């Protein structure tokens, strides 16, 4: 897959999330998709796993949005650096427990590595870089 096409699929995923459409996000991953959430140690599988993972953020902050800062594509692999922002109004549930609700908006700088040969993603490994 050409680098431009790979970057377009990545943008489609982020656009769908920014519109709150986790169902559309799920169409962009393969049936054997695996997401390894490095900060929590959780692993999610398949389109429903991606939906479950994304819904956590939309439940905690229904206005959640992401902005891509950098996209690097090399062969079948891509990495993005992006900022996620939301107003924390709902529960943020993680394996260690529920995060305390915070007043105002929160921002988190993230990195994500993905692989794609077919225009759909078989894996993803998000990592938190910093939380201002």
pLDDT of residue 41: 83
Q: What is the largest CA-CA distance in the chain?
A: 43
Alpha carbon distances (Å) from 94 to 37, 56, 57: 11, 8, 10
What is the rounded distance in angstroms from the CA atom of residue 95 to the CA atom of residue 85? 21
Query: Distance between CA 71 and CA 112 in Å, rounded?
Result: 10
Give the CATH architecture of domain 3-130: Roll (3.10)
- Domain segments of the chain: what residues? 3-130
Cα distance between residue 125 and residue 26, in whole Å: 16
Cα distance between residue 89 and residue 46, in whole Å = 28
Give the pLDDT score at 129.
Answer: 44
pTM of this structure: 0.79
pLDDT top residue among 93 and 68: 68
Model pLDDT for residues 98-117, shown as the tens digit of each residue: 766 665 555 555 555 565 55
CB 74 within 8 A of CB 81: no
Nearest to 40 by CA among 88, 97, 82, 78: 97
- Residue 25: which of 2, 3, 70, 58 has the closest Cα? 58
- 62: number of Cβ within 10 Å: 12
């Amino acid at each position: 897959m050409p680098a431009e096409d790979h970057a377009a699929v990545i943008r489609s995923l982020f656009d769908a999330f920014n519109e709150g459409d986790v169902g559309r996000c799920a169409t962009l991953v393969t049936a054997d998709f695996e997401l390894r959430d490095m900060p929590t140690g959780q692993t999610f599988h398949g389109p429903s796993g991606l939906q479950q993972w994304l819904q956590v953020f939309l439940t905690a902050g229904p206005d959640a949005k992401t902005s891509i800062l950098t996209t690097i594509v090399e062969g079948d692999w891509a990495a993005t650096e992006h900022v996620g922002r939301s107003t924390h109004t709902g529960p943020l549930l993680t394996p260690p427990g529920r995060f305390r609700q915070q007043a105002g908006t929160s921002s988190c700088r993230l990195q994500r590595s993905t692989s794609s040969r077919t225009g759909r993603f078989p894996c993803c490994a998000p990592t938190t870089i910093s939380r201002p």
